[in-house]
């Protein structure tokens, strides 16, 4: 039990991993897939269960398409697009995707019902442990305040708490729980309105740490300044040095 938990909140059990990723949307599933791909022991927690839908335009730009290809997702048969058509105020603009060497010259359309499950299953196939119907309720901290995991409640297939409370402990916790990220709020990160309120959090509770996990170095620097000098999260993976 941590100093933030009361006796009635004692976990039923505790699970451990190298990295806990909270939220199996595109961000969390992609992160978990990359980590697992590099041999990192990763648990991916998701409060809903797949398939589940999400409000979205379902459009994937060439940039997003490139990310999916890099990730190794099989997009055979997915609906392709050749550009954007924008209608409004009596005007129609048709913009073809640009021809560049950096990105494919097509985008795609995939419903979130399909896309999010495919990405989550992809992370699973890469070796991540996907745990659905598990709602993260807050960070766990040690006595120094450092984040050491998250507490979660298990839900039944109608989204109601089962009464089972689980602590997931890891030296690295990644909050990918969406734009409203309660986990980010709970660890004191403020929304960045200049990015539409988006927050991408890599929280270890320390300013700049490198973990040696298996054959890899996982570097976490939650406060790496962006070009405009503002803090931003960063997680990096690199081969473990031979001497270490």
Catalog residues that contact ligand FAD under the rule CB under 6 A. Answer: 22-28, 45-48, 54-59, 64, 135-136, 176-178, 182
Least Å distance, CB 138 to ligand FAD, is: 9
Give me the residue label for tokens 């909270």.
22
Least Å distance, CB 117 to ligand FAD, is: 10
Least Å distance, CB 198 to ligand FAD, is: 8
Cα separation of 63 and 31, whole Å?
A: 17
Closest CA to 13 of 187, 149, 189: 149
Region class of 127: left (phi > 0), else alpha (psi between -120 and 50), else beta: left
The residue among 38 and 47 lying less far from ligand FAD, judged by its C-beta, is: 47
The residue among 65 and 148 lying less far from ligand FAD, judged by its C-beta, is: 65
What is the crossing angle of helices 26-37 and 112-126, to 10°?
A: 20
Cα separation of 1 and 9, whole Å?
A: 8
Residue whose beta carbon is closest to ligand FAD: 25
The residue among 136 and 238 lying less far from ligand FAD, judged by its C-beta, is: 136
The residue among 135 and 204 lying less far from ligand FAD, judged by its C-beta, is: 135
Least Å distance, CB 243 to ligand FAD, is: 37
The residue among 11 and 25 lying less far from ligand FAD, judged by its C-beta, is: 25
The residue among 197 and 214 lying less far from ligand FAD, judged by its C-beta, is: 197
Least Å distance, CB 240 to ligand FAD, is: 28
Kindly provide the residue ranges of all beta strands, DSSP E only, lying in the chain, ordered along the sequence. 13-16, 19-22, 42-45, 59-60, 79-81, 83-88, 91-96, 107-109, 129-131, 134-141, 147-155, 161-169, 172-175, 201-203, 209-213, 216-220, 224-225, 231-232, 235-239
Least Å distance, CB 229 to ligand FAD, is: 24
């Amino acid at each position: 039990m941590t100093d933030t938990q009361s006796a009635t909140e004692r976990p039923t059990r505790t699970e451990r991993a190298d990295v806990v990723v909270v939220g199996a949307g595109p961000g969390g599933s992609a992160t978990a897939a990359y980590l697992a791909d590099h041999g990192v022991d990763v648990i991916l927690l998701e409060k809903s269960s797949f398939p589940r839908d999400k409000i979205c335009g379902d459009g994937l730009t060439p940039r997003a398409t490139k990310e999916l290809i890099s990730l190794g997702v099989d997009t055979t048969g997915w609906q392709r697009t050749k550009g954007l058509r924008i209608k409004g105020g009596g005007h129609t603009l048709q913009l073809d995707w640009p021809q560049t060497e950096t990105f494919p010259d097509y985008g795609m359309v995939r419903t979130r019902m399909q896309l999010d499950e495919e990405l989550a299953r992809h992370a699973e196939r890469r070796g991540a442990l996907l745990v659905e119907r598990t709602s993260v309720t807050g960070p766990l901290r040690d006595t120094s305040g450092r984040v050491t995991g998250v507490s979660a409640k298990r839900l039944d297939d109608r989204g109601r708490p089962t009464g089972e409370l689980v602590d997931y402990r890891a030296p690295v916790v990644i909050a990918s729980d969406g734009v409203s990220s309660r986990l980010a709020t709970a660890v004191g990160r403020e929304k960045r309105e200049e990015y539409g309120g988006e927050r991408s959090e890599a929280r270890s509770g320390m300013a700049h740490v490198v973990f040696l996990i298996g054959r890899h170095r996982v570097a976490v620097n939650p406060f790496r300044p962006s070009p405009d000098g503002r803090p931003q999260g960063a997680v990096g993976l690199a081969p473990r040095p031979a001497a270490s």
